[in-house]
Chains A and B, each alone.
Chain A
């Protein structure tokens, strides 16, 4: 119980620090982006305004979240080491595991609040745009502008970002921020090429290379599985089983990464 309280204390301090660091300013950028787009899209394209705002909202939520997860995530541990505040922190009744988990939960809280506000703003813009078109045009949409089914994609984006958030501190426990950012973003990019890794034997003749690619397909995080943006924008069916298995996959992978982070950080010598 006290462990949970300790992790909570660290998490709240991480959240407060991110507020002090003006991380929430990205919400202003998001709101401006959506409002400007809702005004400009109608003049730039022929129809499909709502589809474009839906796509833009989901892409912006994922991108802003990714930037927060990577660039704050890599500094979570490194900043404490650089400032040398890690010595005073670890001299307190705080285990290294609690420290890592607290940091992770704090960044997760920051991300969740960010995404929550972005989603509310996004739905508000969509609701407004729906009022500007005729009922005949609305009748042709595959789903209402404020279709709550789109929250399924937001849910998977949250899990994807929590996965990225778990990767960043892992690298941050033993590497510089620059390299950590490179490794994390690199892993995120590679994680979107998983389908190619699975079918690598159709590209190369070498069985060894194909076997290695196959192994990497299973070992590396499969980020492409979390992408159901296109399906929800067209209100297509996404089986509940797919959502549940993907969410569970994300949770297990996050647990693996956090365990690895704690293990690496526990062995690190700060003398």
Chain B
């Protein structure tokens, strides 16, 4: 009986000891953190050869790494806030799978996003999309995305309109692409044109992420309109009363505003003196540059 119990007891004791040692080691403090992430192979050509017949699945792995890196950096989970590996990861992804359209389109959005939400590299976003066009010269999505980067990040409305025009001439392009090119050329930069752009992107989004991103951008435009309106209200109050309001409550008591003064995500607007702005906690920050969406 005792001999039969010996082995199970020994196993339980050894496992308990291993668990105890693990907890002890963790409690004694961690080693200094190494670099957040490493990219062992940086050459797309070398990786393409090493991938053998696993190019697609390896492209997926690099794509997941790119998404994770972008998300972790954006949320401040990494010490390195430079997004320096984002473009190499996207380059590897799209070299391994040149038809990975989402990697081009999302990747360009990630790269063009201004700091701290992204690396603020619209030049790399355009490089990535140009690579996509080399593989798929007739893809209107990629041409539209290049126009979009010129529109939103460079505020170069003539070039943006040119790319929207190119997109409209590709097979399968939606009918609104041609008018969008014309509107961009004529009214590029105003909020109406920006709103039209994002509404069309939301309406034709083939992915929930794009749809959500378009929603966020539309909310940013709404917030910019609301800030302008509230600013006019506050200025009017200040001029009439001869002093800046103490807060939204004073404006409400005076009948200037009704109910909660919140942005489209439900976060109250900030009122400092007679200046209205988005609260730093708002997820709509940073707002686009006014040149890209002037009222």
Q: What sequence of 0s and 1s flags, for each residue 45-57 of chain A, a beta carbon within 8 Å of any chain B beta carbon? A: 1111001100110
When chains A and B are docked, how far (Å) is the Cα of A171 from the Cα of B174?
Answer: 58
CB <8 Å contact, A56 and B99:
no
Say whether A208 faces chain B, with CB atoms less than 8 Å apart.
Answer: no
In this complex, the interface size class of chain B, counting residues with CB under 8 Å from chain A, is 20 to 34
CB <8 Å contact, B209 and A230:
no
List A contacts of B206 (CB < 8 A). Answer: 136-137, 139-141
> Which residue in A45, A59, A140 is a CB contact (below 8 Å) of B57?
A59
List B contacts of A141 (CB < 8 A). Answer: 206
Say whether A224 faces chain B, with CB atoms less than 8 Å apart.
Answer: yes
Say whether A103 faces chain B, with CB atoms less than 8 Å apart.
Answer: no
Q: What sequence of 0s and 1s flags, for each residue 130-164 of chain A, a beta carbon within 8 Å of any chain B beta carbon? A: 00001011011100000000000000000000000
Say whether B53 faces chain A, with CB atoms less than 8 Å apart.
Answer: yes
Q: A47-B209, A136-B206, A193-B49 are in contact. Are A59 and B56 (CB under 8 A)?
A: yes
Q: A44-B68, A136-B206 are in contact. Are A196 and B57 (CB under 8 A)?
A: no
When chains A and B are docked, how far (Å) is the Cα of A86 from the Cα of B72?
Answer: 60
When chains A and B are docked, how far (Å) is the Cα of A233 from the Cα of B98?
Answer: 13
Q: A47-B208, A140-B207 are in contact. Are A229 and B60 (CB under 8 A)?
A: no
When chains A and B are docked, how far (Å) is the Cα of A233 from the Cα of B53?
Answer: 14
CB <8 Å contact, A233 and B208:
no
List A contacts of B52 (CB < 8 A). Answer: 189, 192
CB <8 Å contact, A223 and B56:
no
CB <8 Å contact, A192 and B102:
no
List B contacts of A236 (CB < 8 A). Answer: 99
CB <8 Å contact, B60 and A48:
yes
Taking Cβ atoms with an 8 Å cutoff, the residues of B that contact A are: 49, 52-57, 59-60, 63-64, 67-68, 97, 99-100, 102, 106, 205-210
- Supply 13 A–B pairs (Cβ within 8 Å), ascending by A: A44-B67, A45-B60, A45-B64, A47-B210, A48-B63, A48-B100, A55-B57, A59-B54, A59-B57, A136-B206, A223-B53, A226-B53, A229-B53
